[in-house]
Amino acid sequence: MKKFIIALMLFVPVALFAQKFGHVNTQAIMTTLPEITKINGELQALAKKHEDQLMAMQNELKRKADDYDKNKSTMNAMLQQQTENALQEENQKIQQAYARAQQEMEAKQKEMMEPIYEKVKTAIKNVGKAGQYTYIFEQDAALYVGVGSKDLTNEVKAEIARLK
């Protein structure tokens, strides 16, 4: 039993030193992908469309509010109240449209980026398996990256190119 414990104590440090660690900069990887440029273009076009729609709605509300301010003195109290209510409702519609536009943008970005994230994740796993790494960390998330950790960013970029 004593020999077993001594043998175990001798092999544990060797097992610890046999671990390989790597790190990647996924931000650098993502910026080199041509799909990202296409996605950014599509998202910018969608954002511009929403911006134009919201601007048109705001301009219409402003026009109606200015018209109300000019004619307010000639309106009776009931018509003033109805017009104010209509302006408030239109303002709420603009706020709701803005919220819907944000939600649509977030959903579209998630939908478009999901295959890219999966591709990068697959490439990292492939590089990890091929190099027999114990762990591969995100470089920007690590508090410290020592000399024992290899930068695998270029290997992952090459793997992504191979996956195409």
Q: Please write the tens of the pLDDT for every residue from 41-86.
A: 999 999 999 999 999 999 999 999 999 999 998 989 999 999 999 9
Structure-token pair, residue 30: 């993502």
Alpha-carbon distance 135 to 91, whole Å? 53
Residue 135 CA: distances (Å) to CA of 48, 99, 157: 42, 40, 18
Total tally of structural domains belonging to the chain: 1
Structure-token pair, residue 44: 């910018």
CATH code of the domain containing 15:
3.30.910.20
For residue 24, pLDDT over 60 is answered with yes
pLDDT digits (tens, 9 = 90+) for 87-146: 999 999 999 999 999 999 999 999 999 999 999 999 999 999 999 999 999 988 877 887
Residue 32 CA: distances (Å) to CA of 36, 38, 81, 133, 145: 8, 12, 57, 24, 23
Domain with 95 in it: 2-163
Select from 82, 62, 60 the least CA-distant residue to 70.
62
